[in-house]
């Protein structure tokens, strides 16, 4: 129940700030205030949880504890996550989850589905490891850190981790776009890493698509309240595939996700207009 107390505390503080300060300020001030709260909250939660996470280091169950707290942060920021077809993530099987990447808020979206897929290891760039205390908390949660500038070393680390995780029926969460997508009309090209790994391990791919953040505009510095839809697509099997099939597999998954991304974009567009 202590996480409820944390949420109540944060809610009260943010409400008072919003009531007496932020509601009278320009959009860009609210934008920076919300992201500032997000960053500070992430660091505080990480610092508070470090002793608990250290009891069972690298245990994927640690992520559930942090996710419960960070869900309250989403509420304070005014972001609601709607899940669709999430039962796919409940299946007891090793798999690679590939998701589109738009913003730092994607971490909150991933946390929001952790109760559905509690045994999930996110893949992060190694630079995050040095963001203390969040980086250390992420390590203790079981995150996999790779050096994107060294593809061969990254592949070796991922393969070694995947062999262990898939034996325990765990999942690996990856962002194949590699960098943030700032457009609402298409996805960026996918990198091969996730698909190489899927074929090498003969593991299914579970595409997960998050709708465009119509309430967030980094260029105009706008961060309103809003709703984001997270939709899980049907798993794509890789059993029997070889590396010769990689281009076709990558293209097929990209098209599936882009079609869904555009559909979700049309759905949430009406919310932006209202």
Rounded CA separation 110/91 (Å) = 17
Question: Quick one: angle between helices 134-141 and 62-77, nearest 10?
Answer: 130
Quote the pLDDT of residue 35. 95
Instruction: Note the residue count of the chain.
Output: 274
Count up the domains in the chain and report the number.
1
Cis peptide before 133 (omega within 30 of 0): yes
CB atoms < 10 A from the CB of 212, how many?
Answer: 24
- Which CATH number belongs to the domain containing residue 182 in this structure? 3.40.1130
Distance, in Å, from the CA atom of 68 to the CA atom of 140, rounded to the nearest integer, reads 16
Q: What does the DSSP 8-state code read for residue 233?
A: P
Q: What angle do CA 90, 92, 94 make, to 5 degrees?
A: 110
pLDDT along the chain (274 residues), means of 10: 53 57 74 93 94 93 89 91 93 94 95 84 94 95 93 93 94 94 89 96 97 94 95 97 97 98 91 64
Contact between 59 and 205 under an 8 Å Cβ cutoff? The reply is no
pLDDT of residue 202: 97
pLDDT of residue 131: 92
Residue 97 burial class via C-beta count within 10 angstroms: exposed 0-12, middle 13-18, buried 19 and up = buried
Closest CA relative to residue 257, chosen from 176, 182, 197: 176
**Residue 114 pLDDT:** 80
Q: Where are the beta strands (DSSP E) in the chain?
A: 79-84, 95-99, 120-125, 144-146, 171-174, 205-210, 216-217, 222-223, 226-232
- Angle at alpha carbon of residue 113, lines to 112 and 116, rounded to 5°: 140
- What confidence score (pLDDT) does residue 85 get? 94
Question: What is d(CA 233, CA 227) in angstroms, rounded to the nearest whole number?
Answer: 19
Domain region containing 183: 2-273
pTM of the model: 0.90
Determine the Cα–Cα distance for residues 45 and 49; give it in Å rounded to an integer: 6
């Amino acid at each position: 129940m202590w996480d409820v107390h944390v949420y109540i505390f944060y809610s009260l503080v943010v409400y008072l700030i919003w009531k007496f300060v932020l509601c009278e300020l320009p959009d860009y001030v609210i934008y920076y205030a919300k992201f500032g709260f997000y960053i500070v909250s992430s660091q505080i939660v990480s610092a508070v949880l470090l002793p608990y996470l250290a009891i069972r280091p690298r245990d994927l169950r640690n992520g559930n504890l942090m996710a419960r707290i960070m869900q309250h942060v989403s509420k304070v920021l005014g972001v609601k996550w709607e899940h669709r077809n999430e039962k796919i993530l409940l299946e007891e099987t090793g798999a690679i989850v590939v998701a589109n990447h738009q913003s730092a808020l994607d971490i909150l979206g991933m946390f929001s589905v952790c109760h559905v897929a509690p045994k999930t290891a996110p893949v992060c760039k190694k630079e995050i490891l040095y963001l203390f205390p969040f980086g250390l908390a992420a390590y203790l949660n079981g995150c996999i850190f790779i050096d994107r500038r060294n593809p061969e070393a990254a592949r070796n680390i991922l393969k070694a981790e995947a062999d262990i995780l898939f034996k325990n029926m765990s999942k690996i969460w990856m962002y194949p776009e590699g960098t943030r997508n700032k457009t609402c009309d298409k996805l960026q090209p996918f990198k091969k890493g996730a698909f190489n790994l899927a074929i090498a391990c003969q593991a299914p791919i579970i595409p997960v698509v998050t709708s465009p953040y119509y309430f967030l505009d980094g260029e105009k510095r706008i961060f309103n309240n809003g709703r984001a839809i997270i939709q899980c697509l049907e798993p794509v099997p890789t059993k029997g595939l070889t590396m010769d099939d990689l281009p076709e597999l990558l293209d097929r998954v990209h098209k599936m996700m882009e079609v869904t991304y555009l559909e979700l974009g049309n759905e949430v567009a009406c919310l932006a207009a209202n």
